[in-house]
């Protein structure tokens, strides 16, 4: 790479020096040692799947060999397996600006979204509409449609910027609003406080999807008076593939909220084994069935990577990394028809940069072959994530330089890069 014309360009040398200086000043540089990362790989896809924290393997091994292998079913009491969903909930609460007792962990993001949207709409009986973002992740939209069919509601899709105007005309009919805090395609960050106030002023209940926010930027659910929220744990929280999701229910709603999936774990007396369901009086009512202990043990260990780290520190480095990439794209990639679609204003972007370009899929595959892992979002976005805990400014520069080389040499046009894999 160092012998290429691009690598030798004066602006490349200057930006490399700047990246090295940023690394020398980085107070979070030591956090990289908390993760297992392959040598030579620039991992820019933590917004899809976080890497393996070093604490995970011994924790899962202990659960399998000692707790399950030796203590067997007694571990539900001896090692408090039963309390793990609530313990994890309280750990997660600290990362999303919530007091203890308002978050519980378990099941998938789709299940938790369904739970939250149905519960939100049921809090406003007699209203006929559910609003969602028409550009949000497909599951959010599919589930909104499912909730609409279940409850006989009209589902309306609109951009968050259109919310105030729509509620001004139809507000008395809207039961709930469900938005993602960060647009998964573009990385646009929405104003949670303002949108929550707007929805609540019209009498609607606000549901937030935090999948692309939790763990990399300040989320202040209690401070903004949030109603319900959900989020995954396998992206910026590094819980591992398929790790369980979480649900937040504001304390003021917990005694009234009516969740659609009433599993025995959420009953007031789970081991009373009663034939009729009576919900727990706390956040425990959001539990459903037997928790996935192996995944939860992995997540509990993964969250220790955040010990002693302030979310504001993470946010500051995240913004610096994304700014580095935006500037590189403007200076070095625009000549190849690359467009930055992520907002340039720091307060309006999450922890990713999305680049629109021709042949984005092929470019992504060529990058992966050269050890730079990002991902593709149809139809034409190369999406790059910048979790600040384990990325350095220098390796991000190397990744961007590799992208510039691929665009310059045209190697992405090789037919093999156009063959679509199952997972893109």
Question: How confident is the prediction along the chain (424 residues), in pLDDT tens digits per residue?
Answer: 333 434 445 566 688 999 999 999 999 999 999 999 999 999 999 999 999 999 999 999 999 999 999 999 999 999 999 999 999 999 999 999 999 999 999 999 999 999 999 999 999 999 999 999 999 999 999 999 999 999 999 999 999 999 999 999 999 999 999 999 999 999 999 999 999 999 999 999 999 999 999 999 999 999 999 999 999 999 999 999 999 999 999 999 999 999 999 999 999 999 999 999 999 999 999 999 999 999 999 999 999 999 999 999 999 999 999 999 999 999 999 999 999 999 999 999 999 999 999 999 999 999 999 999 999 999 999 999 999 999 999 999 999 999 999 999 999 999 999 999 999 8
Q: Tell me 189's DSSP state.
A: B
The pLDDT assigned to 14 comes to 80
pTM for the whole structure? 0.95
Catalytic residue among 114, 179, 234, 412: 234
Q: Which two tokens stand for residue 243?
A: 């790790």
3-state SS class at 346: helix
Using alpha carbons, select from 130, 331, 312, 291 the residue that is nearest to residue 219. 312
Catalytic residue among 86, 332, 383, 398: 383
d(CA 67, CA 164): 52
Using alpha carbons, select from 342, 324, 314 the residue that is nearest to residue 398. 324
Instruction: Give the length of the chain.
Output: 424
- Which domains are seen in the chain, by residue range? 10-54+310-412 (3.90.1150.10), 82-306 (3.40.640.10)
Q: Active-site residue 209, yes or no?
A: yes
Q: Active-site residue 383, yes or no?
A: yes
**Helix ranges, 161-288 (H):** 163-170, 192-201
d(CA 423, CA 406): 22
Catalytic residue among 133, 209, 227, 375: 209
Residue 100 phi/psi, 5° resolution? -55, 155
As a whole number of Å, the end-to-end CA separation of the chain is 27
Range 356-394 burial, b when 16+ CB lie within 10 A, else e: bbebbbbbbbbbbebebbbbbbeebbbbbbbbbbbbbbb
Given its phi and psi angles, is residue 254 left (phi above 0), alpha (psi -120 to 50 degrees) or beta? Answer: alpha
Q: Active-site residue 386, yes or no?
A: no
Q: Active-site residue 317, yes or no?
A: no
The pLDDT assigned to 11 comes to 60
Residue 104 phi/psi, 5° resolution? -135, 150
The pLDDT assigned to 145 comes to 98
The pLDDT assigned to 277 comes to 97
3-state secondary structure 50-65: CCEECCHHHHHHHHHH
Q: Mention every residue, 6+ apart, whose C-beta is less than 8 A from residue 261.
A: 111, 114, 115, 288
Q: Active-site residue 413, yes or no?
A: no
d(CA 62, CA 76): 15
Catalytic residue among 35, 43, 114, 137: 137
């Amino acid at each position: 790479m160092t012998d290429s014309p691009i690598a030798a360009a004066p602006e490349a040398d200057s930006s490399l020096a700047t990246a090295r200086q940023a690394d020398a000043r980085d107070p979070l540089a030591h956090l990289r040692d908390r993760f297992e990362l392959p040598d030579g790989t620039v991992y820019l896809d933590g917004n899809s799947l976080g890497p393996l924290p070093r604490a995970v393997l011994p924790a899962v091994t202990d659960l399998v060999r000692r707790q399950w292998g030796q203590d067997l079913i007694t571990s539900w009491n001896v090692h408090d397996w039963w309390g793990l969903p609530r313990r994890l909930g309280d750990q997660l609460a600290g990362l999303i600006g919530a007091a203890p007792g308002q978050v519980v962990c378990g099941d998938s993001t789709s299940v938790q979204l369904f739970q939250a949207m149905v519960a939100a709409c049921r809090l406003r009986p007699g209203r006929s509409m559910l609003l969602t973002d028409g550009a949000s992740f497909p599951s959010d939209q599919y589930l909104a449609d499912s909730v609409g069919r279940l409850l006989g509601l009209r589902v309306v899709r609109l951009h968050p910027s259109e919310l105030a105007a729509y509620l001004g005309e139809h507000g008395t009919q809207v039961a709930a609003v469900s938005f993602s805090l960060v647009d998964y395609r573009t990385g646009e960050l929405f104003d949670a406080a303002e949108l929550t106030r707007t929805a609540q002023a019209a009498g609607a209940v606000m549901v937030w999807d935090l999948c692309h926010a939790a763990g990399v930027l300040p989320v202040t659910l209690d401070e903004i008076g949030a109603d319900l929220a959900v989020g995954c744990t396998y992206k910026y929280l590094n819980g591992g593939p398929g790790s369980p999701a979480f649900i937040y229910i504001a304390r003021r709603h917990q005694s009234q909220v009516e969740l659609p999936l009433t599993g025995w774990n959420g009953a007031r007396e789970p081991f009373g084994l009663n034939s009729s369901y009576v919900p727990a009086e706390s956040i425990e009512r959001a539990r459903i069935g037997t928790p996935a202990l192996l995944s939860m043990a992995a997540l509990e260990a993964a969250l220790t990577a955040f010990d002693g780290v302030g979310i504001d520190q993470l946010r500051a480095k995240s913004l610096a990394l994304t700014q580095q990439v935006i500037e590189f794209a403007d200076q070095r990639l625009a000549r190849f028809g690359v467009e930055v679609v992520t907002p340039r204003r720091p307060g309006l972007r999450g922890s990713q940069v999305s680049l629109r370009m021709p042949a984005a899929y092929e470019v992504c595959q060529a990058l992966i072959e050269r050890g730079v892992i990002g991902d593709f979002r149809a139809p034409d976005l190369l999406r790059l994530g910048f979790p600040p805990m384990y990325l350095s400014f220098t390796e991000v520069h190397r990744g961007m330089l590799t992208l510039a080389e691929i665009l310059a040499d045209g190697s992405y046009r090789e037919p093999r890069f156009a063959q679509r894999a199952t997972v893109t």
